[in-house]
Structure formats: C-alpha cells, structure tokens
C-alpha cells in the first residue's frame, strides 16, 4: 500500500526523470575503470567495469549490470543506485533516495550514509563491516568500518521490486577493528589516564610522608 513516503519518493523520481530527459548520460563497459564526472545524470555500468565516485560527485540514476562494480567513496547525492545481476556496490558514504539490490547483487557497507529506501531482493546480499553492529526487525545500527555511526532501515522486496511484509534475512554483520586514528586516540586517552592516576598516587604518598615527618 502506498503511503506518503511512497508518494513523495515517486513524485521526486518522476520530476527528476522529466528534468533529465536532455541531460548527460554515461556508459561504462568492458573492463574500464572510470571516475564519475560532474554533470552525469544517467549512468549505466556493464560487464566487469568499475565506476568510482569521489569528491562528492553525484548522479540521478546509476544502474550496474552483470559483474560490474560501483565504488562510492566520497559520494554526493544519488537519486537511485540500482544494482542488478551479479554487480557489487562498495558503499563508504553518500546520500541516496533509493538503493535497490536486484537479482544476485551484493552491497558491501563500509561507511555511514543516508538513504530513504534500502531495498533488498530475495537473492541479493548485504555485508556490513564495522563494530557494535546489530540488526533487528529490519533496522541496522552500529559503527561503520570507517568510524562513522549509522542507522538504516532495510526493506525486503520480491523480484519485481514490490515491498514485502517481512525483513531481509540476507544480511551479514562483520566485526572489524577500529580505524587506526581512532585506536591511537583511545590509546592516548588510556595512557593519559594512567599517568594521571600515577601522579595522583605519588602526590598523595608525598603528602602522607610529609605529614608523618612533622
């Protein structure tokens, strides 16, 4: 059943489609590795090619097919990220209207990002990398591998894209160590705390000796 969220998302997509009829399109195929340029609206990725998204570049529609790969490192605003066939999305950041995993596609989540809809087909796979991860009733929470916190709602869909009254079960949580800078920061705090404790104990002992001498 359609609710206000469905309606707004649908109107947003229709508006983008009408606006983008004369906009730029990019096709990546073969074994190419391409950096997403500014201004691309429709992007299709085929074969074993790779699309890299950096410097907060964005696009309206990205469709990945076959065994292609999309690496969203410093992604900007992306309306639709559609992963089809056996394609792989490595998501580190970004703001998405919809992430849709079709067929046997895979999404590897390494960083925190925002999305209105995260749709997972029956044979697709979501791999989450981070710490303090939990996945309950479709809600995914935790600290991502890059040290950012996130909270996402996943929705199960059938092979036609219709939302089901159930939660995706094809979600794997993978615990990883803290990022090196964060480890150093925490280690520094521990060292400072220990030094502070030793200094406090030393001052207390000297005070006791002074009192005893008097």
- Looking at residue 5, its pLDDT comes to 46
- Looking at residue 177, its pLDDT comes to 80
- Looking at residue 55, its pLDDT comes to 84
- Looking at residue 194, its pLDDT comes to 65
* Nearest Cα to Cα of residue 150 among 133, 138, 167, 166: 133
Q: How far is CA 121 from the centre of its chain?
A: 18
Q: Is 87 within 8 Å of 65 (Cβ atoms)?
A: yes
- Looking at residue 133, its pLDDT comes to 96
- Beta-sheet pairing, 69-72 with 149-156: unpaired
Q: Which helix or strand (DSSP H or E) is residue 129 part of?
A: strand 125-136
Residues of the chain with pLDDT under 70: 1-23, 178-214
**pTM for this prediction:** 0.75
- Looking at residue 27, its pLDDT comes to 96
- Looking at residue 85, its pLDDT comes to 98
- Looking at residue 24, its pLDDT comes to 83
Domain ranges of the chain: 4-177, 178-214
Using CA atoms, how far apart are residues 93 and 84, in angstroms rounded to an integer? 20
């Amino acid at each position: 059943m359609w609710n206000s969220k469905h309606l707004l998302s649908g109107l947003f997509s229709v508006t983008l489609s009408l606006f983008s009829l004369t906009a730029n399109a990019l096709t990546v195929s073969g074994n190419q590795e391409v950096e997403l340029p500014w201004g691309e609206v429709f992007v299709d990725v085929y074969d074993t090619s790779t699309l890299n998204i950096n410097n907060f570049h964005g696009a309206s529609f990205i469709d990945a097919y076959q065994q292609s790969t999309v690496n969203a490192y410093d992604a900007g605003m992306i309306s639709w990220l559609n992963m089809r066939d056996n394609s792989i999305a490595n998501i580190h950041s970004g703001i998405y209207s919809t992430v849709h995993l079709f067929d046997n596609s895979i999404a590897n989540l390494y960083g925190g990002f925002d999305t209105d809809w995260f749709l997972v087909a029956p044979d697709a796979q979501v791999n989450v990398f981070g710490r303090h991860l939990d996945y309950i009733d479709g809600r995914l929470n935790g600290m991502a591998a890059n040290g950012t916190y996130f909270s996402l709602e996943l929705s199960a869909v059938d092979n036609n894209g219709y939302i089901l009254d159930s939660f995706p079960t094809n979600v794997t949580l993978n615990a990883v160590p803290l990022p090196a800078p964060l480890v150093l920061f925490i280690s520094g705090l521990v060292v400072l705390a220990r030094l502070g404790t030793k200094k406090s104990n030393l001052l207390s002992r000297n005070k006791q000796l002074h009192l005893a001498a008097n």
